[in-house]
Structure 1
């Protein structure tokens, strides 16, 4: 006689598989069931920083001269990250898999590559998701890895910094120097007046432009409402401990800086 226990065990096992599959699909397409909790307890941040980096300057921020590589296909500003400011209680249990961004991978490789030889682009994306994306996930439009990176790519298309600068007469050069006030005035109509221009100091003690931080509200509009001085510093030339740490610093208003061209053969010594 057939035991009734086996069909029961099989049914229980199939139920668990179904629940598990549903759980991971929820993670992939957004955790709608956690939305009220996230908004009241976890979505405490008001502003995001959309951060773009210039390959010709980013490599100056790395200590090891052999670390940097710039793919031949890269000739524009690229994404560094989209960072909620002063976010708290971010969930560290929200995993990211390659399948989450597979549909976006071609564009991500173009707009969000890793310039560090020891880190693949996927590992760069995964690190950004674990550090910042999970904090942004309390907003419905970014409540999955796929949606978060999709939003980042849309923002990159929205802010074509290279063309904006080129139209304003600011182009990469090994000889020409620029001032914060000059660049700030060109970018402000497109990025808002609270954007920050960041530099690094290279081995020859030169100020080199490598990054721009663009403050956005939760709905991705430019700027942030509320106490922006406390949350975001004082604009292009200012500094604030509340900003996301980076290898660089605000470009000093009193010192001119270089906007180095990209050098694929010598990425960390583009003008030497």
Structure 2
């Protein structure tokens, strides 16, 4: 009887251990695509001011998009993240490109240390992206972000479609989506912040497969139907999106923007 009980216990143990190990491996390490996220510093700064930051670090070129990160992602979910907690960020590894990172992979939160953003992006995302030979070091990971910003700068892509920063003119989410899709041939994801009930462009994300080829961002977040098109966005699609200029002041421009929007609505 005792032998049968021991045998049954071992059988159950052998049955469950591989399953649990595999489930952990999938949830912690497997991913489908890379999300390259660019952020609009003006909006990011306004979001930070809501919480604690009294002063923001802005990119050298003030009216330009900066890098937030490169995020390996499993479609339909979030992550993985922190795939190797022992692989800590070492500033010496990115010393050759540090000045470029300061300029365009800018830590906008002036209340934090210089390396805070880079350390977070490497620890959470870079250690997961490192399964690819092309991204298997800090220098490769951050250099790829610099390379992609040069090739796929949202500053340039939006400007080609006459979408430029303005404190009074808003843009339709669909127009922003189409400007990017027409240029790159893939669907982006568009993120908005909110300031006084106004959509403010926050982040634009483009995606790549494991061969670093552009890929649709469908599936990385909930989508909305605009007309006959599916757009990955959290923005309120019933309203225009403000793409604010550097020097945007909330109290003044919110009221001005609302006034301009109301006049525009009256004249439709």
SS across alignment from 1:238: strand
Write 1 or 2 for the structure with the bigger share of strand: 2
Distance 1:54 1:209, change over 3 A: same
Q: Equivalent of 1:78, from 43, 63, 66?
A: 66
Matches of residues 82-231 of structure 1 in structure 2 within 5 Å?
82-86=70-74, 87-88=79-80, 90-202=83-195, 204-223=196-215, 230-231=219-220
User: Tell me, what secondary structure is at the counterpart of 2:206?
Assistant: strand
- Counterpart in 1 of 2:13? none
Task: Kindly indicate whether residue 253 of structure 2 is the aligned counterpart of residue 255 of structure 1.
Answer: no
CA-based RMSD? 2.5
Identify the structure with bigger relative contact order (alpha carbons < 8 Å, sequence gap 6+).
Answer: 1
Q: Contact 2:59/2:66 (CA < 8 Å) preserved in 1?
A: no
Structure-1-length-normalised TM-score: 0.72
Quick one: distance in 1 between partners of 2:73 and 2:129? Answer: 10
TM (norm. structure 2) is 0.73
> Given that residues 59 and 102 in structure 2 are in contact (C-alpha distance below 8 angstroms), is that contact kept between their aligned partners in structure 1?
no
Shift of 1:269: 6.6
C-alpha contact (below 8 Å) 2:158/2:180 kept by paired residues: yes
Q: In the aligned structure 2, how far is the partner of 1:216 from the partner of 1:195? A: 11
* Pairwise CA distance, 1:270: 8.3
Greater shift, 135-144 or 51-60, is seen at: 51-60
Structure 2 unmatched ranges of 5 or more: 1-24, 225-229, 255-268
Task: Give unpaired runs (5+ residues) of structure 1.
Answer: 1-39, 240-249
Q: How far apart are the structure 2 equivalents of 1:192 and 1:68?
A: 38
Correspondence for 1:34 = none
CA pair 230-112 structure 1, distance change in 2 beyond 3 A:
closer
Secondary structure of residue in 1 paired with 2:110? coil
Aligned residue among 29, 33, 38 for 1:47: 33
Structure 1 residues 97 and 268, CA, compared in 2 at 3 Å: closer, same or farther?
Answer: farther
Deviation at 1:93, TM superposition (A): 1.0
